[in-house]
Amino acid sequence: MDHQEPSVRHFDHCPWLFAAEATEEQRLAQRKRQRAIGGDVEIGERCYVAESAAVFPDRLRLGAGSYIAAHAYVTGELAAGADCTLNPFTTVRGAVSLGDGVRIGAHTSLLGFNHSMDPDRPVHRQPLTSRGIKVGDDVWIGSHVVVVDGVTLGDHCVIGAGAVVTKDLPAWTVAAGNPARPIRDRRDTAPAPAGGTDLSRIADTARAQAPDLLARCWDGERYVDRPGAAPTVRAHCDAVEIADLLLGAAPGQLTTDEHSGRLAALQDPATGLVPEFGASLPDDGFPSEGAALYHVLCVGYALNLLGVALPHPVRGVQHMTASQLVARLDELPWRDNAWGAGAWIDAWATAAHGNLRRPHGGGTQPGALEALFGWLLTRADPWTGMWGVPSPGAGRLQVVNGYYRLTRGSFAQFGLPVPHPERVVDAVLDHARDTRYFGAGQENACNVLDVAHPLWLCTRQLGTGSGAAGYRTAEIRAWAERQLALALPRWRDGRGFGFGPGTAGPGPEPGLQGTEMWLAIIWLLADLLGRSDELGYHPRGIHRPEAARRGAEDQRHPEQGPRL
């Protein structure tokens, strides 16, 4: 056999040549090699198992035309379809299933098992667990990749060299990085958007500059949106949101307890509302408009981030009966101010949610929440999935922006499905083509957020999020890519994001409100593209994408002292 040694080594490292170039003697030797594996083994035609490969399976299935190359290490249960390749120095252990046409690069590991790591004993004495790895058809896994136990890779995926895959990836995903993140859809032949490095860079920049940005907006006593502006309640809440998002802590100008104490002290015990600095509260139990409505949202969520609850329930919501609520809903300005109507529902539902999650009670009147959602479900326009009507002067602006506010506080916050999600996507994408609001230089944070969140909410409900194929996915992704490309350059070093043009909001100058909103918008846009992991942050406050928890286990009252 000495005269065949070079050829055997050659085939071990280049097994794809074996079927065409091997001599009959070499083919006999290969069949002997395959029989020597022993155990529960089924190997198809035109397969090759390298002499130098360490193949000790409990169960092995190789489809026709598959091979295991030099120095591969295979144990456990491997089921591979036709035309699969385990290139030199690959490791496949545990329970691993490969479809047809799977290419695995050199030095890659598929580890379909894991150790426990309970603290009661050394790791080497811990029991093994195995959920297995499943790989679909037509998948290319590059060199030096690690795929951990429990992961499923959909059909047609491509995994870049050096990636560490810790989560499932849907079909057609191109992914890379540690941990692996989706880069694009393989079917999209257009160049990838200004890549993950841009997202990582803006997040790292914002994180590094956040302390100075917050200090810039502290006037020595209170927070202002930007230098020269008057202190506002919202500015303090925006500061808390930004610090939590980027730093995972309270703003450094005060201690956590000082922040929560100041914000909690702003609440009026008699009404449960928070007025603006120097302003009085309206006479009615729950106002129709004004800063006190938004403060229900921003103060409540800021306190949640600080680990406490509002000290008092919102009385106007607590005492409003179902019939009174329906009467108020009927009276809202749906025809000429759908945004205002949506903002009122956002505040009412958020107050109800806050009342329900209070450690010591509060809640709502019997049937009030059922009346809210019943009214909304029966009044939604089945052609748009929305409430209100467009106008010649403003187009869909009021309707779409009102939809965001309404669903944010009600359906999204309570974790309930919205009605007619496909029609909502249609209406929102139609609005997003309106150049009055989305033309060159016209985008502001409010208008972009009020498109991004409904698209995010509906795609998740339809099961088409994070790059999965589905209802108008290509259009949604194209819009998100464009808005993301426009948003990232808006950052101003040391000052953050400006809100943007238009009569609403604080204007184009960088400040706390613009920074808080654009950071949340960027996350939503990135998540629509399946790339939000690249940012390294996730909104938890007023712009959190998921439903808010109703339990009070993570909260305390200011008078209860710091958490341990």
Side chain identity at 98, as an amino acid letter? L
468: exposed, middle or buried (Cβ count in 10 Å: 0-12, 13-18, 19+): middle
Buried b (16+ CB within 10 A) or exposed e, 363-390: ebbeebbebbeebbeeebeeebbbbbeb
DSSP codes joined into one string, 397-450: HHHHHHHHHHHIIIIIHHT-PPS-HHHHHHHHHHHTT-HHHHSTTT--HHHHHH
Among 305, 275, 277, CA closest to 291: 275
> Is 236 among the residues known to form the active site?
no
Lookup: tokens for 407: 């669903």
DSSP codes joined into one string, 148-178: -TT-EE-TT-EE-TT-EE-S-B-TTEEEETT
Write the Ramachandran bin of 114: left for phi over 0, alpha for psi from -120 to 50, otherwise beta. beta
- Quickly count helices (H) and strands (E) in the chain: 18, 19
DSSP codes joined into one string, 2-44: GGGHHHHHHHHH-GGGHHHH--HHHHHHHHHHHHHT-SEEEE-
Q: CA 56 to CA 54: how far, in whole Å?
A: 6
Helix/strand/coil for 216: helix
Q: Which of 10, 13, 71, 115 is catalytic?
A: 115
Q: How many CA atoms lie within 13 A of 38 on its CB side?
A: 3
446 Cβ contact partners less than 8 Å away, ≥ 6 residues apart: 401, 499, 500, 502, 504, 505, 517
Q: CA 40 to CA 166: how far, in whole Å?
A: 30
47 Cβ contact partners less than 8 Å away, ≥ 6 residues apart: 34, 62, 64, 65, 66, 67
Q: End-to-end alpha-carbon separation of the chain, Å?
A: 72
**Residues that are catalytic:** 115
